[in-house]
Chains A and B, each alone.
Chain A
Amino acid sequence: MGQPERRHSLNFKPTWEIGASIGVHVLLLGLVAAGQMWDNDSHMFDPKDVMAVQAVALPKANKRMPERPTRTPDPPKGETVQSKVPPPPPTASDMALKKKKPAKTKGTPDRSTDRAKLLNRIKRQALLKDASAALGNKDRVQTDKEGVAPEDAVIGPIGAGRMDPELARYVSQCRNKILPNWNPLPAVLAAHPEYKVVVSVSVGQNGELSKPTIVKGSPDISFDRSAISAVVRTGRLPPPPPRYAESAAKGVMITLSAADLR
């Protein structure tokens, strides 16, 4: 009984299909290895792991601390704290309202600058007009689209599979550009961390924003307006990567959430 089975198992006949399969596998493994090496070049270690090591190291007593402790934590990011040069003392004028310099009335006016400012102003007004239309109830587009989940935002757009690093970089740059321009009322943020608003905005090839539209609003019109204002104030994002330019022109979905993710 066993003899024929053994004979059958040993009866191996290499065919071109098997050879091709092995070849493909070897090729794939080679690609994987190359990919790993490529990744290692850019990230020799995971920064999170380093942070973990530091966190563990902190509680250890260090009696031989140098005069200027190297492990003393860095100051929070901010001009005041980071500045190596002590900031000048606030003067009475610092504490008074900041006054803008009056427009020049004497001398030859810089027409090119004025023209650029005028154009910029017109563009922003047009954007604001679009935004105002977007906020009007009758123009408000209500869809069933949901905001992007935070975990998705970390790696970029929704979708299974790995994120295109180029797009991930772009999304991150856009987020950093929009965030400083977003000024919702802190009282609303504190009271309603669940608020979320999704704005669709067309991004031109040069990054210019137009046609902001609220795709999904929050229950608070002020919160929604703050989202539109953030887009208007941002004005321009970095130019989208060429392969995503068409999609960006159709509309980038910006989700602004009251929940603090940082």
Chain B
Amino acid sequence: MNPVALMLAIIFALLTPLKGLAADGAIHIYVGAPGRNKVPIAIPKPIGEHSKATDFYGVVTRDLELSGWFDVIDPNAFIEPATTGIMPGQFKFEDWDVSGAVALAKMGITSRGGGQMRAEVWVYDVPGRRRLGATALTVDEGSWRPLAHRLANEIIYQVTGQKGPFNTRFTYAKKSKTGKEIGVVDFDGHGSRSITKNGSINIKPLWHPGGSQISFTSYREGNPDLYVAKLGAGKIKRISSRMGINIGGVWSPDGKTMALTLSPDGNPDVYLIDPLSGRSIKRLTHSAGIDVGPSWAPDGSRIAFVSERSGGAQVYTINPDGTDVRRVTFQGNFNTDPVWSPDGSQIAFVGRNGGHFDVFVVNIDGSGMRRITQDMGDNEDPSWSPDGNYVAFSSTRTGAAHIWMSTADGHHQAQLTRGSGGFLNPNWSPSLEW
């Protein structure tokens, strides 16, 4: 720089006084959007007479708390009489200012003839003094729990603009007395039902993109073979029983191809097979080390997998024709279980850190790696929610393994399953609507 210009610049800078205030003489503070500040929501108990009203109310409020979006306000702070109406004009918004509510969800439940029940929810913007939306549904009495989830979905949609995950399910492998069995459970940990009851070891269940089938590996015949369970028909079919392991059968997004790990020559590698016939289509990997755990990109253009080709286990991606292998993870020496996010931009995986397993998320180009869990037992088998807003995983932080979920940023985490535990390999159902 020209010395004279430099000198002039220095003199100008020094002679310019420190600016404290704006031209208008006021202090200015700029506050950007609060991101995921929880929304204070008031949910009075449903009006109407129904034997399941209390349970129904509990399901809705728990759903909203699990979501991480809401701070459900203590009903003791409500000043409105319990019998006040739920429709616009039947109550005063001012009554809800007192509790600090930003959102208000008013519900009503009534029994209908013929073993049916009707539930409705009206969602309001308290500061805006307006109705955000409303919905009413009539279902069989026995379906009160899914109905409660649907109303919770309606509330979260009206307040946040995002569809709720409350009607999704997980398939899982659960420890039994003699092995591990495959099952399905609702989002909130209720409604668990078995897929297998063979007393053997059954692991790694994975959903079909259409949600009608589940693939899993079973030792029921002695060898770790790959099976597919058709949920509607209740049938289980073995589709790959090659020598060695047949594990991790993950359908392509169009459901026409299945990637899995086989070891016919002793060394595990990633293969593509026809999920209907089990016929081998292509061997994708040929490295000397193991190549396992395939996961399809949502557009089917790439497959993530784990390889020891560089020494420790690391996550890589590859084209479905076996070309263009790219390494994704570079930190640590044991990264496994990659799962592609629904929007295709990220991969969740498990990394070993300090003797424990934790869930991480990384951009597909290897950048932006962040930790979801830390110092909370072992956290394994991540699975994205269909909308990509959450990651589920099995965690031993409370002792026995349970299904937990976390917001994708890791800020809000919650336990989903209850009981004695032993829940492993959770896999989130592929659609928000069941």
- Nearest A residue to B188 via CB reads A95
Contact B31 A182 (CB under 8 A): yes
Q: Does B51 contact A (CB under 8 A)?
A: no
- The answer to the question of B219 belonging to the interface, with a C-beta cut-off of 8 Å to chain A, is no
**1/0 per position for A9-40, CB-CB distance to B under 8 A?**
00000000000000001001101100000000
| B39–A62 touching, CB < 8 Å | no
Given known A-B contacts A262-B32, A262-B35, A225 and B128 have beta carbons under 8 A apart:
yes
Q: Which residue of A lies closest to B133 (CB)?
A: A187
Contacting residue for A100 out of B27, B76, B130, CB 8 A: B76
Interface positions of B from 298 to 353, Cβ below 8 Å from A? 310-312, 327, 330-333, 351, 353
| Cβ of A206 under 8 Å from chain B | no
Closest B residue to A24 by beta carbon equals B11
Q: How far is the CB of A66 from chain B (nearest CB, A)?
A: 9
Interface pair B353/A68, CB less than 8 Å apart: yes
Tell me the minimal C-beta distance from B125 to chain A in angstroms.
5
Chain A interface size range: 35 or more
- A107 contacts the other chain (Cβ, under 8 Å)? no
Contacts of A179 in B (CB 8 A): 31-32, 34, 37
B244 within 8 A of A: no
Whether, in the assembled complex, B29 has its beta carbon less than 8 Å from a beta carbon of chain A, the answer is yes
Of B15-23, B171-179, B205-213, the one contacting chain A is B15-23
Q: Which residues of B contact A221 (CB under 8 A)?
A: 127-129
A136 at the interface (CB under 8 A from B): no
Q: Which of B61-78 contact A (CB under 8 A)?
A: 61-62, 65, 69, 72, 74-77
Known contacts A78-B410, A81-B413, A86-B376, A252 near B26 by CB under 8 Å: yes
Per-residue contact bits, chain B 350-379, to A (CB 8 Å; 1 contact, 0 not): 010111000010000011011111111100
User: Quick one: which of B33, B129, B354 contacts A260, CB cutoff 8 A?
Assistant: B33
The answer to whether A190 and B353 have CB atoms under 8 Å apart is: no
Judged by a CB distance under 8 angstroms, whether B25 is at the interface is: yes
Best-surrounded residue of B31, B72, B158, B354 (most CB of chain A within 10 A): B31
Flag if A159 contacts B23 (CB, 8 Å): yes
Residues of chain B contacted by A74 (CB below 8 angstroms):
371
Q: In the assembled complex, which residues on chain A have CB atoms less than 8 Å from the CB atom of B61?
A: 96-97
A71 to B20, CA, bound (A): 40
Given contacts A84-B375, A100-B74, contact A60 B330 (CB under 8 A): yes
Cβ contacts B94-109/A at 8 Å (1 or 0 each): 0000001011000000
B127 near A225 with CB under 8 A, answer yes
Q: Which stretch in A41-49, A112-120, A242-250 binds the other chain?
A: A242-250
Determine if B33 and A257 form an interchain contact, defined as CB atoms under 8 angstroms apart. Answer: yes
Q: Give the contacting residue for A243; candidates B20, B158, B415; CB below 8 A.
A: B20
CA distance A32 to B10 in the complex (A): 8
Partner of B415, one of A76, A89, A230: A89
Q: Are A158 and B410 in contact, with the CB atoms below 8 A?
A: no
- Kindly list chain A residues whose C-beta atoms are within 8 Å of the C-beta of B312: 63, 65
In the bound complex, what is the Cα–Cα distance between A262 and B13 (angstroms)?
30
Interface residues on B, range: 35 or more
For the complex, give the distance between the alpha carbons of A155 and B406 in Å: 35
B22 touches A159 (CB 8 A): yes
Measured between beta carbons, the chain B residues less than 8 angstroms from A244 are 20-21, 27
Q: Mark A60-87, 1 if CB is under 8 A from B, else 0.
A: 1111010111011111111011111011
Which of chain B's residues have a CB closer than 8 A to the CB of A55? 367
CB neighbours of B22 from chain A (8 A): 148, 157-159, 253
Report whether B33 and A189 are in contact in the complex, using a CB–CB cutoff of 8 Å: yes
A259 sits at the interface (CB 8 A): yes
**In the complex, which residues of chain B have a beta carbon less than 8 angstroms from the beta carbon of A78?**
410-412
- In the bound complex, CA of A186 to CA of B17 (Å): 42
How far is B376's CA from A76's CA once the two chains are assembled, in angstroms?
14
Q: Are B29 and A178 neighbours in the complex by a CB distance under 8 Å? A: yes
Q: Which residues of B contact A193 (CB under 8 A)?
A: 33
Q: Kindly list chain A residues whose C-beta atoms are within 8 Å of the C-beta of B375.
A: 83-84, 86
The answer, yes or no, to whether B24 is at the interface (CB within 8 Å) is: yes
> Which residues of A have CB within 8 Å of B353?
68-69, 72
B 200-221 binary contact with A (CB < 8 Å = 1; else 0): 0000000000000000000000
In the bound assembly, the distance between CA atoms of A260 and B37 in angstroms comes to: 12
Residues of B within 8 A of A109 (CB): none
A153 within 8 A of B: yes
CB-defined contacts of B35 to chain A, threshold 8 Å? 260, 262
Residue numbers in A under 8 Å from B28 (CB-CB): 148, 152-153, 156-158, 171, 252-255
Given A55-B367, A185-B39, does the pair A252, B29 have CB atoms closer than 8 Å?
yes
Provide the bound-state CA to CA distance between A240 and B21, in Å: 13
A62 to B327, CA, bound (A): 13
Report which residue of A25, A58, A162, A167 has the largest number of chain B beta carbons within 10 angstroms of its beta carbon.
A58
Give complex CA distance A91, B115 in Å.
33
Chain A residues lying within 8 Å of B58, measured Cβ to Cβ, are 96
Contact digits for B203-244, partner A, Cβ 8 Å, 1 yes 0 no: 000000000000000000000000000000000000000000
How near does chain B come to A27, taking the closest CB pair, in angstroms? Answer: 10
Q: How far, in angstroms, from A96 to B11 measured CA to CA in the complex?
A: 66
Min CB distance A19 to B, Å, is 17
Interchain nearest-CB distance for A33 vs B (Å) = 10
CB distance from B269 to the nearest CB of A (A): 22
Complex Cα distance, B20 from A53, in Å, reads 33
User: When the two chains form the complex, which single residue of A68, A80, A162, A259 contacts B413, counting CB atoms closer than 8 Å?
Assistant: A80
Other 18 A-B pairs with CB < 8 A, given A71-B331, A72-B332, A250-B26: A63-B333, A65-B332, A69-B353, A72-B353, A80-B412, A81-B376, A81-B413, A89-B398, A145-B24, A148-B22, A153-B28, A157-B27, A161-B17, A167-B27, A187-B158, A187-B159, A190-B161, A222-B127
12 inter-chain pairs at a CB distance below 8 angstroms, sorted by A residue, are A55-B367, A73-B360, A81-B373, A95-B65, A152-B30, A158-B23, A162-B19, A185-B102, A185-B132, A200-B26, A253-B22, A262-B32
Closest 5 CB pairs of A and B: A153-B30, A222-B128, A261-B32, A225-B127, A158-B22
